[in-house]
Structure 1
Amino acid sequence: MNVKGSVVFVTGASRGLGLAFAREAVERGAAKVYAGMRNPGNFKEPGIIPIKLDVNDVDSIAAAAKAAPDVTLLVNNAGIAELTQEHFTEREVEQARRFFETNYYGMIRVTNAFHDSLVSSKGAIVNVLSDATWKVVPVLSPYSATKAAAWSYTNNIRELLRGQNVQVVGLHVGFLDTDLAKDVDLPKTDPRDVARQTYDVVDAGGSEVLADAGTRAIKGTLSAENSAYVDPSIV
């Protein structure tokens, strides 16, 4: 499908990558752009319609889908992350549970809510994933698990929706230059560049985005005997 002329809904769009997706959709000539967020009251962006959305609240999701019944391109961007300081404890379990509620179950809930609109319009879904799906970083292990689950979900719905002409794109990317990673002293990618790359793949009818050099390097080792998920020192 083409982003130009589409009706876009971006979750977690108040800032960071989500806001970059919403702004880039406007730049590309989307017919309408909805920005899902928990607190839309003070949001003011030209050409972007704020919609109250909490991906952990089924009533909130249903209300958002009702307010935006014409969506043809869904960007599942909402997510949470934090470092895991305690391993092999119940606190790690509780943290993982919180992450799964938003990063995995939230993605499923929102996709389900917009399913009929996307099928009827032969639209597209973009799921924001991570290089953490394959990268070994123990302080991110519960977060990484949620992204691995979301990757599997993305691949399975791609097959389920293929016959209904709904395009499904998985976006894999490392650290972004956003507030979420402001204290991380590692190379970061401009979220505007990630949004541009992703929409280019949508326009081209593709299925996957590897948005930075580090992600491409990790993905390239997956079929190797000495892969990055076994020996992280090789990348």
Structure 2
Amino acid sequence: MEIRGRVALVTGANRGIGRAFARAFVDSGAKVYAAARQPELITDPDVVPIRLDVTDPDSIAEAAELAADASILVNNAGVALGGPALTASLDNARREMEVNYFGTWAMTQAFAPVLAANGGGAVVNMLSAGSWVALERVSGYTASKSAQWSLSNALRVALRPQGTLVLGVHCWFVDTDLAAAVEEPKIKAEDVARATIEGLLADEEEVLVDEATKRIKASLPNDLKLLYAAK
């Protein structure tokens, strides 16, 4: 699909991958609504900041009305509150589901008619290699990403008749605040944004950004043996 001349709305655009997404779409010739709970933190002069809480139905409705010219929705807003599976706060786990899973669902429901009115366009869901492999120390986060991946597949089928592409973006650790405590190799947020733009231009339905993600996806048929081996 062509990006130049289109209008994109990016959630969680005040930092990290969301900020990189917003910049990449601007550089590709799109008008960009940069959405965040605190839009005053968005400093890029080339985007239109808007206030948005993806867990608040009224906030979502206001964003859909304001961005009525959008043809690309980027569901990037996410949280990772952490905690091992046996001791994690279930309140934190519910928050991760509310933002990462239900937030994506609510935003897509609200913007589906907007995208249809503007020619179909695309929904980009920022997923994770954690969609396929659990990390015990952030069990709630990876569970929410698994749910978001399943939802993305359902939305792809539901939106196809109106000509809306659904692109799932998967990567391993990215050098952002979300992974600040992770002591493993990380890719840059700009790499994620660049791969996503390339995926949209090629009408792809899935983007695997880095080699670690590709290896995890390839291991899925034997995930119990390869991903969860006894140690």
Q: Displacement, 1:69?
A: 0.5
Q: How does 1:20-59 map to 2 (within 5 A)?
A: 20-30=20-30, 32-59=31-58
Regions of 4+ moved over 2 Å: 41-44, 224-233
Evaluate the alpha carbon distance shift between residue 232 and residue 109 of structure 1 in structure 2; reply closer, same or farther with a 3 A threshold.
farther
Q: Which one-letter code corresponds to 1:116 in the other structure?
A: P
- Whether the aligned pair in 2 keeps the contact of 1:126 and 1:168 (CA below 8 Å) is yes
Secondary structure of 2:137's aligned partner: helix
Match of 1:108 in 2: 105
C-alpha distance in 2, partners of 1:225/1:40? 41
Which of 144, 147, 160 does residue 145 from structure 2 map onto?
147
Aligned-pair CA distance for 1:225: 7.1
CA distance in 1, matches of 2:63, 2:167: 22
Is 1:136–1:228's contact at 8 Å kept on the other side of the alignment?
no
Q: Which residue of 2 aligns with 1:202?
A: 200
In the alignment, what sits opposite 2:13? 13
Question: 1:111 corresponds to which letter in structure 2?
Answer: T
CA–CA distance in structure 2, aligned partners of residues 232 and 35 of structure 1:
44
Which residue type is aligned with residue 111 of structure 2? Answer: F
| C-alpha separation in 1, matches of 2:226 and 2:80 | 22
Distance in 2, Cα, partners of 1:84 & 1:57: 25
Displacement of 1:232 in angstroms is 8.2
Residue 101 to residue 232, structure 1, CA distance change in 2 (3 Å): farther
Matched, 1:63 2:56: no
Question: 2:34 is aligned with what amino acid?
Answer: A
How much does 1:112 deviate?
1.1
* 1:122-171: CA deviation from partner (whole Å, max 9, x where unpaired): 11000011111122310111111100000000011101111211100001
Post-superposition offset of 1:213: 0.8
Aligned-residue CA RMSD (Å) = 1.6
Identity among equivalent positions (%) equals 44
Counterpart Cα distance in 2 of 1:232 and 1:2? 47
| Contact 2:64 2:110 (C-alpha < 8 Å) held by counterparts | yes
Choose 183-192 or 132-141, whichever is displaced more.
Answer: 132-141
Unmatched runs of 5 consecutive residues or more in structure 1: none
C-alpha contact 1:92 1:142 (8 A) present in aligned 2: no
Report the number of matched residues: 230
Cα distance in 1 between the residues matched to 2:223 and 2:72: 38
Q: How far apart, in 2, do the equivalents of 1:160 and 1:184 lie?
A: 36
* TM-score for the superposition, normalised by structure 2: 0.94
How far residue 9 of structure 1 moved from its aligned partner, in angstroms, is 0.3
Distance 2:128 2:86 in 1: 24
Partner of 2:169: 171
* Contact preservation (8 Å) 1:17, 1:178: yes
2:218 aligned partner = 220
Distance 1:226 1:37, change over 3 A: closer
Give the Cα–Cα distance (whole angstroms) in 2 for the partners of residues 60 and 229 of structure 1.
39
Q: Which amino acid aligns with 1:8?
A: A
2:187 paired with 1:182: no
Task: Kindly provide the CA deviation profile for residues 30-50 of structure 1, in whole angstroms up to 9, marking residues without a partner as x.
Answer: 1x1000101112433121000
- Cα deviations by residue, 1:43-97 (Å, 9 ceiling, x for unpaired): 3312100010001111111111111111100000000002204x435x5322211
C-alpha distance in structure 2 between counterparts of 1:145 and 1:42, whole Å: 29
Q: Is the 8 A contact 1:175 1:189 kept in 2?
A: yes
Single out whichever of 173-182 and 210-219 deviates more from structure 2: 173-182
